[in-house]
Chains A and B, each alone.
Chain A
């Protein structure tokens, strides 16, 4: 599947000055944004699991349910 362009990731038109950049620069920005999103999603998934270790056992089930784990 083709990777999403910068405008597709941002969900709207780019500011004029960004739109006017050479294609390789816009591709680089798209890659940087994609990487940042992946890092964030990965960190979040990991934190959800690891965080449960600090939750008192009696509340763990309710927290797991609320978070959707």
Chain B
């Protein structure tokens, strides 16, 4: 299914099949619509959330962490994350288990919490990335790649297997970021990704999307690697990067 429909279904908390009528809608319109919906949901209870963020200043971080996990849950934590003081938010996040943070990440609008996300310790981010990979939550992984510093992305990519990396790249919000992300991979990883795509037909679309969004210089390095691919995929890949 179109990744944009999957993302919208996630924001609205409905089954993607319910939104099948969106299949023919232009991707840019779907993306814009999802941003409108996200903004509406984040702003819907803004006054109450701001008061809660204010009240959190009165409490020690361990108490906030306990309330966050036991009472608020991932959705409300995600709504409030962008409203609390950055240092306080980071302090609380450090006290929460990666599984819980992974659930918060799935609900979070990364644009609203960039300052906190970028200050969470590297090991914690990597643990959250590993948990999201275990859940096969490519959408959440993809949404964060655009908001994390390069060293963090590089470490997180190392915990993703080849298929996981391709599926994550496929659902990146900002496709112009794909070439940059490919540039963060260690030598030899890109050929491995291409071989992985050749061995699994379900990875063809993600791989073709990655190829189509690579910069000219990287396309030239990739071209000779296509010889190893099955005929049909090779033809489509060559068309994607010509």
Contact = CB atoms under 8 A, between A and B. Distances in A.
A and B associate: yes
Interface of A: 9-12, 14-18, 20-22, 25, 28-29, 32-33, 35-37, 39-41, 43-44, 47-48, 50-51, 53-56, 59, 62-63, 66-68
Contact of B49 (A12, A37, A44): A44
Contacts of B45: 40-41, 44
Given A47-B71, A50-B71, A16 B58 contact: no
B51 A67 contact: yes
B99 to A, nearest CB: 19
A7 to B, nearest CB: 10
Contacts of B55: 63, 66-67
The 9 closest A-B pairs by CB, nearest first: A17-B29, A66-B55, A15-B29, A17-B25, A25-B21, A15-B32, A17-B26, A50-B71, A51-B71
Contact of A63 (B12, B58, B72): B58
B48 interface: yes
A32 B58 contact: no
B48 A36 contact: no
A35 B66 CA distance: 28
Contacts of A67: 48, 51-52, 55
Given A10-B36, A44-B45, A54 B71 contact: yes
B37 A16 contact: no
B84 to A, nearest CB: 13
Interface stretch (B73-81, B178-186, B213-221): B73-81
**Interface majority SS on B: helix, strand, loop or mixed?**
helix
A20 B33 CA distance: 13
Contacts of A9: 40
A56 B13 CA distance: 34
B13 A36 contact: yes
A54 B67 contact: yes
A44 B59 contact: no
Interface in B191-225: none
B239 interface: no
B194 to A, nearest CB: 33
B9 to A, nearest CB: 9
B21 to A, nearest CB: 4
Given A21-B21, A48-B52, A51-B67, A40 B40 contact: no
9 contacts: A18-B29, A21-B25, A33-B40, A37-B40, A37-B44, A48-B52, A55-B67, A63-B59, A66-B51
